[in-house]
Amino acid sequence: MAYTGPERRKHPRINGRFVVSYRLVDEEDNVDVSQTRNLSLGGMLLTTNTVFQPGVNLALEMRLPFFPHPISVIAKVIESKEIVKDLIYDTRLTFISTDEKYKKIISETVECYLKKGQ
């Protein structure tokens, strides 16, 4: 059932499939690759094959269409919800550490998609 209450997000969100590699901050070698379901300047919804506990920090490298290099951010898990039993999870993340240059690129990407009507 879709949420029908008032909008509580601080930043506009776009639907978009962007490639993201992710790992626990403390695990250098355990990287997985997925796609975003949506993106905003404040965070994203990512499809993962692992359930993550709220509060866990992930290191992300994201590829956006208007920038040739991966964008690195640290995000905190807000919620990880099972979509397909023991296989696929929708993981909501909030960005907690992002370089100002990368914030600008994320913001420009969101604005461009909003202008195009997603």
CA distance 83 to 49: 10
Span 54-62, mean pLDDT?
Answer: 96
The better pLDDT of the pair 116, 85 is held by 85
**Could you tell me the pTM of the whole model?**
0.85
- The confidence band for 8, taking pLDDT boundaries of 50, 70 and 90, is low
Query: What pLDDT, on the 0 to 100 scale, is given for residue 18?
Result: 94
111, 104 contact by CB (below 8 A): no
CATH architecture, range 13-115: Beta Barrel (2.40)
Plot region of 94 (φ>0 → left; ψ -120 to 50 → alpha; else → beta): beta
In the chain, where the domains are located: 13-115
118, 13 contact by CB (below 8 A): no
